[in-house]
Structure 1
């Protein structure tokens, strides 16, 4: 089972980052998820473990959401961030765009953010996301549509640009 957990760690880390919006909180969430998996992992195949792991990660995030707000306020202070500077217009524009997307993701409700993370970032199918979050397929589709629409509005993107 430990080998199965090791194989899904990269996916869980990306999912945790999508939920939290910063690396430090994502690493904490990942660690808590793995600890819980090692203590209480279900018996079954790797597919069951993967679904369960995503569900555990999401539920732990919901449990820690209030404390995350305090941590995220602390991490936005300039004296606490890395002071790495990169020259170049492209690097600056990429960083600005990433910050805008992270801010837009932070505005989404947790249920929409977790779906965007699973489908857009992890590349899961609607069916896989529905199974991982224990939701009906129709709920996944409607929440994802609302999430995409909200992100487009937050980012002021036209509908044609979101399909690219």
Structure 2
């Protein structure tokens, strides 16, 4: 969910990742982290999907709208507006910051787990998360566009 933001897209990405890994298993090198290799495949597939989606425009899932009946329209609009603003803030981050922030904050992984998955020093993960949090704070408080 760290990359996609919703369950359906996450399931699709997982399926595509496994398919890609199985068809290219000969590219995995023994002694390297299988989890890191699989995450890199998922990351690349997600980036491709985002680029493809940006050319077509964003879709709205009709099932998401079904649960809105009976709720206060103003609250829904405000909540959606805040969520859209937060998503824009996250999307504005450089990939390396967005990915580590999502893995730590959204997926709840430890800095060490993220460092192992991405094959990075833990200090690098910590500094990227810190910079990402600062950038999001600036964005959400109107100090950055």
| TM, length-normalised to structure 2 | 0.72
Q: Is the 8 A contact 1:16 1:30 kept in 2?
A: no
Structure 2 equivalent of residue 116 of structure 1 = 101
Which of 78, 83, 86 is the matching residue for 1:101? Answer: 86
Q: CA deviation at 1:142?
A: 1.2
Q: CA deviation at 1:62?
A: 3.6
Segments of structure 1 that go 5 or more residues without pairing to the other structure are 1-13, 158-164
Instruction: Classify the secondary structure of the residue corresponding to 2:3.
Output: helix
| Alignment: residue pair count | 133
Deviation string for 1:40-76 (max 9, x for gaps)? 29699xxx544433232123334555324224x242x
Structure 1 equivalent of residue 21 of structure 2 = 37
Superposed counterparts of 1:44-55, under 5 Å: 48-55=33-40
Q: CA deviation at 1:94?
A: 3.0
Segments of structure 2 that go 5 or more residues without pairing to the other structure are none
More helix by share: 1
Structure 2 equivalent of residue 149 of structure 1 = 134
For 1:116 and 1:55, locate their aligned partners in 2 and report how far apart those are by CA, in whole Å: 16
Residue 55 of structure 2 corresponds to residue 70 of structure 1: yes
For 2:55 and 2:7, locate their aligned partners in 1 and report how far apart those are by CA, in whole Å: 15
For 2:10 and 2:53, locate their aligned partners in 1 and report how far apart those are by CA, in whole Å: 10
Q: CA 1:94 to 1:49, structure 2 compared with 1: closer, same or farther past 3 Å?
A: farther
Q: CA deviation at 1:130?
A: 0.7
